[in-house]
Structure 1
Amino acid sequence: MRRALRHPVRLVPLAFLAAIALGTAVLMMPVCWEQPGPAPLLTALFTATSAVSVTGLSAVDTRSSWSDPGLVMITLLTQLGGFGILALASLLGLVVSQRLNLRNRALLAAESAELARGDVRWLLLRIAQTVLVTEALMTLVLTVRFWSTYDYPPGKALGYAAFHAVQGFNNGGFALYPDSLVRFAGDPWICLPIAFGGIIGGLGFPALFEAVRRWRRPGHWTVATKLTIWGSVVLLIAGFVGFLLLEWSNPRTLGPFGWPQKLLAAFTQDAMIRTGGFSTVNIDALNEGSYPLFIGLMFIGGGSASTAGGIKVATFFLLAFCIWAEVRGDPDVVVGRRRVAEASQRQALTVALLSVALVVIGTFVMIVTTQDLQFYQALFQVVSAFSTTGLSLSPAATVPIPDQIVLIVLMYIGRIGTIAVGSAIALNTRPRHFRYPKEQPIVG
């Protein structure tokens, strides 16, 4: 433990491994499984990993396969995975700020105001308060809707509402209906609370807290907050418009709806693409042009230190600014009248390229082990698992056992990978007292 504390980056993967192991053991108890006997080991492991990593991929039908205690355990694991990654990411931010020298700590304090604060208890309590209040409001709205409109008994309405509120805010994606939210595609009182909860949870608390605190002065936001907030807005609009254009006339998705229902279903699905995991249309019935859109948005994911996965919005748009500066021939990468440190640029490039490598390897393994799997299907499944989105073209139960193991590994790495890699790079940064002569090799 002392060695782990001296290298705090190890705490993230170890903590999540422990949570997955505990969740697997509990889910294998006969009381959690609807059928006689305990749940199969691989099914329990797959479900526990999916819940802790807040992915939402399921090897079996959630409602018919798991008993009420099993559903409670899945809910707790999802909550633990969502809040735990927020807490650990925030604590790692504090650790990084303490390990840097005085000059770099001042820069970090300017660029990450919330994470640079020294009051850990204040930070964690504020995160917990935001999580609980948001989930409580979502639960209240969903409970009233289930009870008043769909004639659910009060107890069932509250249980279903709480389950989907936790899944929605934490971007989990487990649903108690075989078609996810497709049956509620035209109901704004079901879709909108889950969509907005997923958006809030996917922004990341450092950006969210600062945006709320300085909402009257967005020009004073830090670079990280600007990239996250405005980048998320751009992605939401682009995904919404793109999805509408691609699926407007598709008779198997948005085609049969009237235009208000089309707008609602498209907005909810757009909010869920980047990590939410719920679906308001049949994913198998999408036009082929929609799959690249989904894959791209899933790979980008949500905000840093959030319940979302992917390479993160700030990473993607920082790389876009790097490309723009290079194309223009600018010596510095500038975002909002602030120069971006070269270390941050290298960190973003490292995270992105490592993520691409993992996706390529995972896709290759799935294609090799499953002969009748098409390339775009394998790529979709791999990106969905790595980005902890949870959207699926087919139930995981139909996926061969080797591929299920690949998805388990990708869900785990996708959840803790970017945070661990980014923190490790920052913690391993050390000054060098000499520099080698510079050369400029030919590129391209």
Structure 2
Amino acid sequence: MATKQEQLLHISDKSPVLRFVTTVRDFVDRVANSSPARLALIVFALVILLFTSLLSLPIAAANGQVTPFHDALFTAVSAVCVTGLTTVSTALHWTFFGQLVILIGIFVGGLGILTLASLMSLMVSKRLGVRGKLIAQEAMNAGRLGEVGTLLRIVISTSVAAEVVLALVLAPRFIILGEPVPLAIWHAVFYSISSFNNAGFTPHSDGVVPYETDLWILVPLMVGGFVGSLGFPVMMVLLATGFNVKRWTLHAKLTVQVSLMLLGAGAVLWAAMEWTNPQTIGYMSVGDKITHSIFASVMTRSLGFNLVDMNAMNSPTMLLTDALMFAGGGSASTAGGIKVTTLAVMFLAIVAEARGDSDVKIYGRTIPQGTMRVAISVIMMGATFVLVATGLLLGISGASLDRVLFETISAFATVGLSTGLSAELPPSGVYVLSVLMFAGRVGSITLAAALALRQRRQLYHYPEERPIIG
């Protein structure tokens, strides 16, 4: 009598579907165990292609026509990479189906590249290999490998819970403002998912500008975006320990501290630079100026909603916005940029070097040399991406450097603030920004995770010799 394994093999020999499933499962197992980072890239690319196909359907466009490939691809990349840049109006070009596809893309992309790769590995092969668990552990700062599966469920449930709360807060306000109940609920859900995932997409043709003095709408958007930018590892620490700072992990302490510092400094500097600008906030009351400044500081960190015309800002303000966008939010979060912990580690390394300390120390902990090498790699890779893309777009668009640099950093840092350049670019420029958004969303995370595991034992060391630095 044939064994169960032999029966399955016999069935698979006759069934093309089973052969295909087996092939896919074996491929996922092989890639997940040999290179989880590569699996993450493949998964993210496949997800983007799926949403591009859906947005290319005539049912997704308001005019009933097939959306040009470069516009569908750009929108799909922007949604899955939770950026918010657009080449066509989200409110006017897309039907409800198209907007729903975008919203699902934002939610899926907000879970993160490594989370998606881990979920795919679990769904296809029913297990997560050791290297896959190590990657997920590194991404979510899990204490033990056995916690990874539980943390994946917590990530999804936390996202859903936060977005439901935001929607419940926003829906009554849209109803009070006169919107039909179904439309108000839809707009509340859209804004809740878009804000928590730091996407910056808006279902209104004029964005959030009509609500520039409405704190009932602005405050939930700011809170949702800021909490989302902290990252799932920090949120899980806060849920477990509350505000008992002594029990926080070093990552949580650095992320919260630097995020609050950047929020405060960004608001003060933005206000100082735009206080008298009549094209932005110069004509407003003191209270509205303060609201706009805080809102702008939160938005530039990755969320991407805007209350003022980016082209109307003063040049120093645009430079400040570039810097805040490049810094971004927390690691393993829905925000982009080089991440605040990267910034913190490099600052601490500079301070240690200035003091002559051999170790980089903070909060009673020593930061490993390997972590600093990863931070340097992330910063250099980000700067290289921005430099190359800026050069390409300058040649393609012929626009001024400040507009091109602003759009480039916004795309790389997955912020979504725009001077309108994205909609003006030819298809070649749109593809450049699409690649940049993809690289910005998956590049630094994957690089950091991959490098963190590339620790190999060396049996010998060459003699040390210091080159002259500086």
Smaller-chain TM-score bracket: over 0.9
The aligned counterpart of 2:95 is: 67
1:141 is matched with 169
Q: Secondary structure at the match of 2:360?
A: coil
How many Å apart are 1:113 and its aligned residue? 5.3
Match of 1:26 in 2: 54
> Could you tell me which amino acid in structure 1 is paired with residue 343 of structure 2?
F
Query: Where does residue 295 of structure 1 map in the other structure?
Result: 322
Q: Does residue 1:418 correspond to 2:444, yes or no?
A: yes
Query: Which letter does structure 1 place at the counterpart of 2:465?
Result: E
Deviation of 1:289 (Å): 1.0
TM-superposed CA distance for 1:224, in Å, is: 1.4
Structure 2 counterpart of 1:261: 288
- After superposition, what is the alpha-carbon deviation per residue over 1:106-163, rounded to whole angstroms, capped at 9, x for unaligned? xx99x97535452333212222221111111111121100101x10000110111111
Q: Tell me the distance in 2 between the aligned counterparts of 1:160 and 1:211.
A: 29
Q: Distance in 2 between matches of 1:90 and 1:201?
A: 20
Matched, 1:244 2:271: yes
Match of 2:42 in 1: 14
**For 1:354, which of 381, 386, 398 is the aligned residue?**
381
Q: 1:98 to 1:57 in 2, by over 3 A?
A: closer
Pairing partner for 1:47 from 75, 86, 106: 75
Match of residue 414, structure 2, among 380, 388, 413: 388
Instruction: Describe the shift of the 1:194–1:117 C-alpha distance in structure 2 as closer, same or farther (beyond 3 A).
Output: farther
Following superposition of structure 1 onto structure 2, how do residues 121-160 of structure 1 map, counting pairs within 5 Å?
121-148=149-176, 150-160=177-187
Which string of whole-angstrom CA distances, capped at 9 and with x for unpartnered residues, describes residues 5-48 of structure 1? 12111121111101110001011111101113211111100000
| 2:426 alignment partner in structure 1 | 400
Q: Determine if the alignment matches structure 1 residue 441 to structure 2 residue 452.
A: no
1:38 to 58, 62, 66: 66
For 2:355 and 2:140, locate their aligned partners in 1 and report how far apart those are by CA, in whole Å.
Answer: 28
> How far did 1:395 drift?
4.9
Give aligned pairs, total: 434
CA contact (8 A) 2:140 2:332 kept: no
1:352 deviates by 0.6
Tell me by how many angstroms 1:184 deviates.
0.8
1:369 equivalent in structure 2? 396
Deviations 1:380-421 (A, max 9, x none): 111000000010001522112221111000000101011110
Q: What is the rounded CA distance, in whole Å, between the counterparts of 2:225 and 2:243 in structure 1?
A: 24
CA-based RMSD: 2.1
Where in structure 2 are there 5+ consecutive unaligned residues?
1-26, 122-127
Cα distance in structure 2, aligned partners of 1:89 and 1:44: 24
Is 1:76 the equivalent of 2:86? no
- Counterpart Cα distance in 1 of 2:259 and 2:276: 27
How has the CA–CA distance of structure 1 residues 389 and 50 changed in structure 2, closer, same or farther, with 3 Å as cutoff? Answer: same
Deviation at 1:332, TM superposition (A): 0.7
The answer to whether the Cα contact below 8 Å between 1:181 and 1:279 also exists between their aligned partners in 2 is: yes
Q: Which of these two proteins has the greater Rg computed from alpha carbons?
A: 2
Spell out, residue by residue over 1:224-278, the C-alpha distance to the aligned partner (whole angstroms, 9 max, x if none): 1121110101010011111111111111111222122222222122111111011
1:104 match: none
CA distance, structure 1, for counterparts of residue 251 and residue 221 of structure 2: 26
Instruction: Give me the TM-score of the superposition, normalised by structure 2.
Output: 0.88
What pairs up with 1:161-310 in 2 under 5 angstroms?
161-310=188-337
Q: Name which of structure 1's ranges 314-323 and 279-288 shifts more when overlaid on structure 2.
A: 279-288
Cα distance in structure 2, aligned partners of 1:395 and 1:378: 7
In the other structure, the counterpart of 1:105 is: none
Describe the shift of the 1:147–1:99 C-alpha distance in structure 2 as closer, same or farther (beyond 3 A).
closer
- Amino acid corresponding to residue 319 of structure 2 in structure 1: P
For residues 198 and 343 of structure 1, the distance between their equivalents in structure 2, rounded to whole angstroms, comes to 31
Q: Distance in 1 between matches of 2:269 and 2:160?
A: 33
Once the two structures are TM-superposed, the CA of residue 99 in structure 1 deviates from its matched residue by 5.5
Higher alpha-carbon deviation: 12-21 or 390-399 = 390-399
Paired with 1:389 and 1:4, the residues of 2 have a C-alpha distance of 31
Describe the superposition over 1:331-354 as per-residue Cα deviations: whole angstroms up to 9, x where unpaired. Answer: 111111211100001010011111
2:357 matches 1:330: yes
Distance 2:323 2:346 in 1: 15
